[in-house]
Amino acid sequence: MLINRNIMESKYGFKKFTIAEFEAWIAQLKVARTIRTVQQHHTYLPNYSHFDGENHFKVQRGMKNHHVNSNGWQDIGQHFTSFPDGTIVTGRSLEKTPACIYGFNSNSICIEHLGDFDTGNDQMSDAHQDTAIRMTAAICRKFSIDVNTDKIVYHHWFNLATGKRNDGTGKNKSCPGTNFFGGNKVADAQANFIPKVQAVLAGTVPNKPKTELIKYVAVTASRLNIRKGPGTNFSKVSDRQPAVLGSNLRVYKIKDGWYKISSSTEHWVYGHYTQDVYRTTVTASKLNARSGPGTNFSRVGSFPKNRELWIEEIDGGWAKVIFENCWVSKQYLLFES
Ligand SMILES: [Zn+2]
């Protein structure tokens, strides 16, 4: 079985996912920290007016800079930020405790939904609502978290000074907003948000059939357009940037030399500008890289253990690393199969 780990768009150390990609990614992720709860927040600032449809990474970096430089934290506070277009950008490592609800951060995952969802301000888009529900469900499924208001919590339910839970009766923030899924009270969550998360986990929301991964390819053109179907007569997609040289894509369907590169959406690229690759991981503590397929070729560098290497060619016991112009001994590679 293929591991569905995503080679997603990433920038400034953040990864960006569609909700379907996020569900696949988190399902196979290894997390050592014990996770027992999920927090719901809104960012308040920045809000919908700061999002232009393309600046996810810039917005996320802005929050990180604020948290690090102004708040003096070691990293961005939250683990994930969800965006108005339904995409998700990663933040702090899941192995690290978040900085989101004083008194409640241990064993928790912090989600910040970009926007100001106090009544009269941002109206959460349909795609954003769908993502908020499904990402919470995916986290609950992954970490076996019960879907109730003890485990899925709003910032509003905690006293800011003491960290004690008071269900929003004291000195509290309105976060995730007085109009977040119909209100920020415990009763609102029980009436609206919680049942929607339960519905996803109960399978009452139809899940698209899982599509089998056929192979990986690497992009060999400087810029490869992504189209809505298998042919140049199909228009370019608007929800994804062209793939760039060296990026790796997953192929789910092949038609007339075109590759479908998303399991959930009609995203197609022309296969001519790609090269089939194997996905491998280095198992040796230090793997020598050589200028050719053999120990008689000169050593040109090395790769550390657990480094992911994309292989374009196998020659006997040797594997050629794409774009690196070097060869490594195949026996120290773990091939994804
Ligand atoms: Zn908050």
Q: What spacing in Å lies between the alpha carbon of 163 and ligand 1's midpoint?
A: 12
- The single residue listed with the structure tokens 């780990």 is 5
> What is the sign, positive or negative, of the torsion defined by CA atoms of 134, 135, 137, 141?
positive
Q: Match domain 10-201 to its CATH number in 3.40.50.150, 3.40.50.2300, 3.40.80.10, 3.40.50.620.
A: 3.40.80.10
Q: What spacing in Å lies between the alpha carbon of 87 and ligand 1's midpoint?
A: 19
| pLDDT at site 234 | 96
183-238 pLDDT, tens digit per residue, is 999 999 999 999 999 999 986 544 444 568 888 999 999 999 999 999 999 999 98
Q: What spacing in Å lies between the alpha carbon of 205 and ligand 1's midpoint?
A: 28
Residues whose CB is under 5 A from ligand 1 (ion)?
41, 155, 175
105-120 pLDDT, tens digit per residue, is 999 999 999 999 999 9
Q: Match domain 215-271 to its CATH number in 2.60.40, 1.10.10, 1.10.3470, 2.30.30.
A: 2.30.30
Query: How confident is the prediction for the chain on average, in pLDDT?
Result: 92
Domains of the chain, by residue range, sit at 10-201, 215-271, 277-335
- φ/ψ (deg, to 5) at 86: 90, 0
* pLDDT surpasses 70 at 177: yes
- φ/ψ (deg, to 5) at 3: -80, 130
Q: Please, which pLDDT band fits residue 263 given cuts at 50, 70 and 90?
A: confident
Q: Please, which pLDDT band fits residue 149 given cuts at 50, 70 and 90?
A: very high
* Full-model pTM: 0.61
Q: What spacing in Å lies between the alpha carbon of 281 and ligand 1's midpoint?
A: 38
CB 111 within 8 A of CB 101: no
Q: Please, which pLDDT band fits residue 3 given cuts at 50, 70 and 90?
A: very low
Q: What spacing in Å lies between the alpha carbon of 154 and ligand 1's midpoint?
A: 7
| pLDDT at site 1 | 39
End-to-end alpha carbon distance in the chain: 6
| pLDDT at site 205 | 46
CATH class held by domain 277-335: mainly beta
* pLDDT surpasses 70 at 8: no
Q: Please check whether the two domains, 215-271 and 277-335, share a CATH topology.
A: yes
Q: What spacing in Å lies between the alpha carbon of 265 and ligand 1's midpoint?
A: 32
Q: Is 202 exposed, middle or buried (0-12, 13-18, 19+ CB in 10 A)?
A: exposed
